[in-house]
Amino acid sequence: MAKKNTSSSSTVRKPTKRLGLLDEFIRAQQVISGLTTSMPMILMTKEVVEEFQDVAKVDPVMDSLKNDLQRALRAIKRPEDYTQMAQAYEIYAETSTYLDLSRRGVALQRTPGTGQHGQKRPDFLHKHPSGDIYVEVKALEIEDYLTRHDEIAQEALKILAELDARARKPGVHFGHPQVLSGHKFTSKAVDRIDEIARRIKNVIKPEQIKFGPTILVVDLGRLGTAPFGPSALLPVFFHDAPPAESCVSGELWQIALGMPGEQIFHLPQFDGKSNLGGHQSEAGVLREYTSLMAITFRCPRWSEPAELLTIWNGGWDQTGLANPCALEEHQIEEFLYNYSDGLNDQSNEGGWDYRVNPLRPRPPRQR
């Protein structure tokens, strides 16, 4: 009789190969494909993710950001993982900001010591020839995100179910379009201004912006404002096109520098209709955080690079900075101007070119 082999045996499993960034992104998109809609997942595009991956091959900072995004995407397992999707978009926005500024000649590195031992420091550091400039990136969530992510997803699921039911019958069938907005559909200009100003102030950490001369970059991809480009940097501009000729408040100016009680002028639906849009209730971000050097609003666009629209807080409070500013005012202005698609200051002395929307031809800058 043959001797029975009683020795234990085990199957050696090869370690699972981790997906690369692009593959992880595609997998995360497939989690919701054909089932639901997620605003963060819609805003992130394959083309941009591919660019992150390519740049990361030669750029150590981008490689670190790429790894962060890869981990965030890996955490998305179910269509209901709204928090994980939101976290992935926040890293995507930070990485996009890094790429935007790099393309415009602003070389960034990680701020040394960020995140170590509870240190609160800005995300990035730019080594200007005359001194250091810091960049902190914040990506704002949609309004009432705790409930509206689920509402958006459920609406998409309902539309898909209705289309599937009708598709069982002969003929060509189209689903009802789903309109997505980071704000509630009932929100007016004054509501957007107050909501965004409040949201920015809620996410600012004073220790970060007082570490040194800091530019706060606010990504508005999930919220958005009225599409008036650099004209939104003025307290008021003239809208010279349909649907109406009217004076209109610049939403970005009001978010940054508006005061409670100020009258907001919105774009009327047609000529002759009132442009009075109510009164602002929130103080602008730069009114409460006077140690911020500037705010840059990053406004993503579907088929073009994001717009970077900046308000410089000239005369800003530098007394509490841990690392003093070594740049002269003209150097700060030139630096902000060179990377921005539109620039104004707290005195409204930089907004002349944007006083009419659509914009008139821009004269060469006098240096």
Q: pLDDT of 200-249, one tens digit each?
A: 999 999 999 999 999 999 999 888 776 799 999 999 999 999 999 999 99
Helix (H) or strand (E) segment spanning residue 138: strand 131-139
pLDDT band per the 50, 70, 90 thresholds, residue 12? very low
Tokens 């705790």 -> residue: 146
Q: What integer pLDDT is reported at residue 163 of this predicted model?
A: 46
User: Angle, nearest 10°, between helix axes 60-74 and 82-103?
Assistant: 160
- Are 218 and 297 a contacting pair, CB within 8 Å? yes
Q: Is the pLDDT of residue 287 over 80?
A: yes
Model-level pTM?
0.85
Q: What integer pLDDT is reported at residue 155 of this predicted model?
A: 55
- As a whole number of Å, the CA-based R_g of the chain is 24
CA-wise closest residue to 301 among 216, 187, 225, 196: 225
Mean pLDDT of 133-159: 67
Tokens 């088929």 -> residue: 303
Least confident piece of the model among 16-20, 73-77, 104-108: 16-20
CA-wise closest residue to 261 among 284, 238, 294, 231: 284
- pLDDT tens-digit profile of 329-356? 999 999 999 999 999 999 999 999 999 9
Mean pLDDT of 63-84: 93
Q: What integer pLDDT is reported at residue 164 of this predicted model?
A: 53
- pLDDT tens-digit profile of 163-173? 455 556 665 54
User: Which residues have a Cβ under 8 Å from the Cβ of 155 and sit 6 or more positions away?
Assistant: 37, 178
Q: Is the pLDDT of residue 148 over 60?
A: no
